[in-house]
A and B are shown apart, each in its own frame.
Chain A
Amino acid sequence: VLVVTITNLLWIHTFLSLCSSLFFLRVQFELWDSDDPIPRQELLKKVKGCDGLLCVLTEKIDAEVLNAAGPNLKVLSTMSVGFDHLSLGELKKRGIRVGYTPEVLTDAVAELTIALLLATSRRLIEATHEAKTGGWGTWRTLWLCGYELADSTVGIFGLGRIGVAIAERLKPFKVKKFIYTDVAPRPELAAAIQAEYVSMDELARQSDFLAVCCALTPETQGICNKNLFSKMKNTSIFINTSRGGVVNQEDLYEALSTGQIAGAGLDVTVPEPLPTNHPLFTLKNCVILPHIASASYTTRNAMSALAANNLLAGLRGEPMPKELQL
């Protein structure tokens, strides 16, 4: 008898098909049936003896959890493409297979990144606020002017699937040039979008719009800091939809409030949620979203189906649709 722990409520029909598959396999499963994350103590209790674990990015799966689970645990399936919440070393050591959800969320994330970029560069949030609070007079020539993508240079920090998808969507806005930086050149991906490989410093200097799309690793932790912002144009727009930990938030506040950069849009922060009294909220030129990059109905459905199928394949000892190479 296999035991599975599911840490969050899945989209309803995926959940039902997962349940019936699990039932067919004669699997017992334990579901944390709430939209709110499972409390740590509950998680440690419920994973005891389980063969599989399906989680979301709010669960830190580290040695403590893996020890609590015990030796039966053979598969961990996360409903995310990011895996910074998983202790890969510990998982590899225990021979546990890991499933994740790349590609199915690329479109939604790229789309939201552009939504955020445009909302920031075209000052949509300031504008909606003016419309609601009486700041809207009649049409004026210079009121609420923003920065246009046409004729601009767009820089991508970390050229992966999402970075490429962002560039593909920005192209018809008449972007003049795409540049990117990464640990090494990515010739195939770069060719698809005709992007030039540059150093981090050059990326900062040349970009009118800088989008951060890298994974969070020890190398990228806090990499978007004073050193980066001080080299950027004072008309530039900084966008982060990767992970909050990539940005030094104090340095970002400094850069925004002193006019070192023109504006910033964040879908990810440290912590999440960001406390409502955080200084970044006092800035008109900083747009903050609550980590909704993959939040489209079809995408969340696809992510949950994939996460479920990864889990099932892991339980059966079969190839997973999307296995993370450890």
Chain B
Amino acid sequence: MFRCTVSLWDSDEPVPRAELLKGVEGAHGLLCLLSDRIDAEVLDAAGPNLKVISTMSVGFDHLAIDEIKKREIRVGYTPDVLTDATAELTVALLLATARRLPEGIQEVKSGGWSSWKPLWLCGYGLSGSTVGVIGLGRIGLAVARRLKPFGVKRLLYSGRQPKPQAQEVDGEYVPLDSLLCESDFVVVSCALSPETQGLCDKAFFTKMKTTAVFINTSRGAVVNQEDLYEALTAGQIAAAGLDVTTPEPLPTDHPLLALKNCVVLPHIGSATYSTRGIMAKLTANNLLAGLTGEAMPSELKL
């Protein structure tokens, strides 16, 4: 039992930059969200006391890792505890997009529903399909496990190297181009890095099937949104579902929001009561361990 002085930004709105820079002065520890960019400026403002940063996320693209490493600051994050909720949301988004749920609901509310018709609102089913997962990490694998019993015929994945755990889902390691040409569903599940920034661009979408469904629940910056818009309106791909965008929030007049075949969710991948509770606890415990110089439950290797 030890005593901390805690400075809390007590609002649902993110802390303004100026407030953050002031608030971190002399801090030993910093607990943040993915909407807080922790770069050299923040670290300098904090000063030499800062020994631990604990983020309530598994993604760490908002943290300037090199700067943090240089200053020997430890980092805690929340892998694993949010895998189930995020994989579940990814599948929810895939199904909602492929089976045209938002369109259906819109028709119902606006009087477009007259009677049962054989070809109305038909979508693409998973049964007999080929699914391609880009980045078969914890979340990608969890998504693949959940899709399998829907009758997926082939599970392809791409990444820097093959993964032994892919065997569990009969995953086939293929070059990205093959994945794009052969997949009926493309799910992006990789981390955002300089290599994956803008990965999903015009060339990417051109290689996909015109009946394919594209899903991104990783990070918005992996996708070139202008090229995606182009691909969707030109019929290069059938539909897209996004839980992440650039920026977040996406402005309400953004062209992607007007497309019937584009489903946009406001970054709710891990949004379940139980998961957020567990994430919060883990984030706090990571922070406390960092402050007392102990082993963290989930430390990010820098």
Binding site for B on A (CB under 8 A): 8-11, 35-37, 56-58, 79, 107-108, 111-112, 114-116, 118-119, 122-125, 127-128, 130-151, 168-169, 171-174, 272-274, 276, 281, 287-292, 295-300, 303-304
Contacts and interface: CB of A to CB of B under 8 A. Distances in A.
B30 to A, nearest CB: 16
A56 B124 contact: no
A35 B120 contact: yes
A69 B263 CA distance: 47
A299 B129 CA distance: 13
Nearest to B101: A119
Contacts of A57: 116
Given A56-B116, A128-B102, A136-B266, A295 B108 contact: no
A142 B276 contact: yes
A79 B118 contact: yes
A124 to B, nearest CB: 5
B162 interface: no
Contacts of B271: 122, 143-146
Interface stretch (B1-9, B46-54, B249-257): B249-257
Interface string B243-273: 0000011101000010000011111100111
Interchain residue pairs A-B with the least CB separation, the first 8: A118-B92, A115-B95, A296-B125, A136-B249, A273-B113, A136-B266, A290-B113, A148-B272
Contact of B265 (A111, A124, A291): A124
Contacts, number: 219
Contact of B125 (A111, A133, A168): A111
Given A136-B249, A143-B271, A289-B105, 17 more contacts: A36-B117, A56-B116, A107-B125, A112-B95, A118-B88, A118-B89, A123-B268, A131-B265, A139-B14, A139-B34, A139-B35, A150-B85, A150-B88, A150-B274, A151-B274, A295-B121, A298-B127
A171 to B, nearest CB: 7
B126 to A, nearest CB: 6
Contacts of A136: 248-250, 266
B109 interface: yes
B192 to A, nearest CB: 15
Contact of A289 (B88, B104, B151, B280): B104
Contacts of B35: 138-139
A148 B88 contact: yes
B33 interface: yes
B67 interface: no
A143 B269 CA distance: 11
B232 to A, nearest CB: 16
B252 A128 contact: no
A133 B264 CA distance: 12
Contacts of A276: 108-111
A112 B99 contact: yes
A172 B268 contact: no
Interface SS of A by simple majority: loop
Contact of B114 (A11, A36, A125, A146): A36
A143 B92 contact: no
Given A128-B265, A136-B266, A141-B56, A296 B123 contact: yes
A306 B82 CA distance: 44
B118 A132 contact: no
Contacts of B56: 141
B108 A107 contact: no
A296 B115 contact: no
Contact of B109 (A58, A148, A281): A281
B124 A297 contact: yes
Given A122-B268, A138-B35, A173-B88, A290 B127 contact: no
A301 B67 CA distance: 58
A169 B150 contact: yes
B248 A174 contact: no
A79 B98 CA distance: 23
Given A118-B88, A138-B248, A147-B273, A58 B119 contact: no
A114 B95 CA distance: 8
A58 B257 CA distance: 35
A197 B89 CA distance: 30
Contact of B105 (A148, A150, A288): A288
A208 B33 CA distance: 30
Interface in B264-302: 264-268, 271-276, 280
A59 to B, nearest CB: 10
A13 B12 CA distance: 56
B102 A304 contact: no
B149 interface: yes
Contacts of B145: 172
A309 B92 CA distance: 35
A125 to B, nearest CB: 6
